[in-house]
Amino acid sequence: MMSAKKKWSMLIAMAVVFGLVAGLVMFGVNTAANHIAGTGDAPSENDVVTDDTEDNSTASANISSAGTKTPVQVAKEAMPSVVTISTMSVEEMRNFLGGVAEYKVQGAGTGVIVGENDTELMIATNNHVVEGASTLSVGFIDNSTASAELKGADPDNDLAVIAVNRSDITDDTMSQLKIATVGDSDELELGEQVVAIGNALGYGQSVTVGWVSALNRDITLTDENGVAINSTGLIQTDAAINPGNSGGALLNMDGELVGINEAKTGTTPTGISVDNMGFAIPIDKAEDSLKELMSLPTRDKVDASHASALGIEGQSVTSDLTQLYGIPGGVIVASVVENGPADQAGIQKSDIITELDGRSVGNLEQLQNALQYYAAGETVDVVVQRLNGQSFEAQTVSVTLGAADAAG
């Protein structure tokens, strides 16, 4: 991922959340991260193989009857369902005097309109696009913008849904938007042509064309906390997935959404440079998760005066612990504040927190981010993995959150 945090390892350079422009407020330095991969080439009309007895008009008719569209047609029809996403987050950096200064990090990603209800327009994207963002802004096909809120996230599958209030979208803009037509990624075949649309480098919507290079690919992403995220069953494509394309649409030649673009790779673990290897989450794999996230209530971040706390000290479970000992990913409870919210709910030292109020928790930062949407005094269900003999068992406890200022 191209952010100042370097959130994802170079094993797989994220495609990216952030075609990122990082602003260091204290020093007034702006850094643009620009890693550009090559684009795939679409076949021209001259590439169509025809029988000697069949003229080109007949060949074109056969293509049309098969339901195949040109990349131009696919792009025109899909653009109204693809949005740009701009994020702002606040990071900390230690200065030369030993103090800590805050600086703002601006990022760019992509989303796909996948649903609506009476009050909201719902947009699918990657979790790594929106994770940790203090503000979210969405740009539509007519270049209008609106603020958005995180509706829900599934860090394990690198998926998230954000929502825009319909009242913040003009009637004219709404008339130009459309919900993406979902296809069947299980029907994809090697060598099939695909189109990728995304917010490359944060410059706005752009289109690349390529082919399905492989299916059922597995990759491992590692965040800055050492937590491994295994993305499995991915679509590999040589359509260029550039920084800022994360969360964008991978479309078949019927204009149907078959994948959510996630990552690219530029080097192997041994440092060998590679080209044209991008990855997308198949829509058939993502669909159930997205539907669940869309059903969650949309929450705003609470005011600092109402900030909440669980009453624990915790630490992220690293990928090394998961691989060596089979410990579930999440937040391991290092200690519990006596008579605090977690203690009163029955959470114990060495429990591993994996879920809060239906929202997956993969590491300490994700737990802290999730708590920003809940006020002190609210009661939430927390799923913990507790060691029972030689294995971990999931238990759900109800916790009435305490005040963050009281917890220190």
Rounded CA-CA distance 110/79 in Å is 12
231 and 371 inside one domain: no
248 and 329 inside one domain: no
Rounded CA-CA distance 124/113 in Å is 6
The average pLDDT across 364-379 equals 88
The average pLDDT across 151-163 equals 89
pLDDT above 80 for 179: yes
Catalytic status, residue 168: no
278 and 365 inside one domain: no
Active-site residue among 154, 158, 343, 351?
158
User: Which pLDDT score, from 0 to 100, does residue 28 have?
Assistant: 35
Burial of 141 (0-12, 13-18, 19+ CB in 10 A): middle
Q: Which of 86-100, 275-289, 307-321 has the lowest mean pLDDT?
A: 86-100
The average pLDDT across 61-78 equals 71
218 and 267 inside one domain: yes
Structure-token match 């029809």, residue found: 77
pLDDT above 90 for 144: yes
- The DSSP line for 60-127 is HHHHHHTT---HHHHHHHHGGGEEEEEEEEEEEEE-TTS-EEEEEEEEEEEEEEEEE-SSEEEEEE-H
Catalytic status, residue 44: no
1 found inside a domain: yes
Handedness of CA 390, 345, 333, 372 (dihedral sign): positive
254 and 195 inside one domain: yes
User: Which pLDDT score, from 0 to 100, does residue 243 have?
Assistant: 84
148 and 86 inside one domain: yes
User: Which pLDDT score, from 0 to 100, does residue 66 have?
Assistant: 35
Angular region, 282: left φ>0, alpha ψ -120 to 50, beta rest: beta
Q: Does an H or E element contain 394, and which?
A: strand 391-400
Domain boundary among the residues 298, 325, 343 is at: 298
Domain boundary among the residues 282, 298, 314 is at: 298
β partners of residue 250: 196, 259
225 found inside a domain: yes
Highest mean pLDDT among 44-48, 57-61, 92-96, 238-242: 238-242
Catalytic status, residue 158: yes
Q: How does residue 330 score in pLDDT terms, banded at 50, 70 and 90?
A: confident
Active-site residue among 3, 213, 246, 360?
246
111 found inside a domain: yes
52 found inside a domain: no
Instruction: Please calculate the CA angle 164-170-171 and round it to the nearest 5 degrees.
Output: 115
**Mean model confidence pLDDT for the chain:** 79
336 and 276 inside one domain: no
308 and 159 inside one domain: no
Q: Residues of the chain with pLDDT > 90: what percent?
A: 45
Domain boundary among the residues 298, 325, 344 is at: 298
pLDDT above 60 for 336: yes
The enclosing domain of 105 has a CATH number of: 2.40.10.120
pLDDT above 90 for 64: no
369 and 287 inside one domain: no
The average pLDDT across 175-179 equals 96
Q: What confidence tens digit (pLDDT) does each residue in 199-246 have?
A: 988 888 899 999 999 999 988 766 554 556 678 899 999 999 888 899
> Any idea of the CA torsion for 104, 110, 115, 118, to the nearest 10 degrees?
40
Question: What is the residue range of 315's domain?
Answer: 304-407
Q: How does residue 13 score in pLDDT terms, banded at 50, 70 and 90?
A: very low
| Domains of the chain: total | 2
Task: Check if the beta carbon of residue 11 is closer than 8 Å to that of residue 223.
Answer: no
User: Which pLDDT score, from 0 to 100, does residue 56 have?
Assistant: 40
196 found inside a domain: yes
* Helix, strand, coil percentages, rounded to 5, for the chain: 20, 40, 40
Q: Is 340 helix (H, G, I), strand (E, B) or coil?
A: coil
User: Which pLDDT score, from 0 to 100, does residue 347 have?
Assistant: 93
53 found inside a domain: no
Closest CA to 26 of 85, 83, 92, 118: 92
Rounded CA-CA distance 302/316 in Å is 24
User: Which pLDDT score, from 0 to 100, does residue 100 have?
Assistant: 63
The enclosing domain of 355 has a CATH number of: 2.30.42.10
Active-site residue among 81, 128, 223, 351?
128
User: Which pLDDT score, from 0 to 100, does residue 169 have?
Assistant: 96
Highest mean pLDDT among 25-29, 289-293, 361-365, 388-392: 289-293
User: Which pLDDT score, from 0 to 100, does residue 102 have?
Assistant: 63
309 and 292 inside one domain: no
286 and 308 inside one domain: no
Q: Does an H or E element contain 294, and which?
A: helix 283-294
273 and 332 inside one domain: no
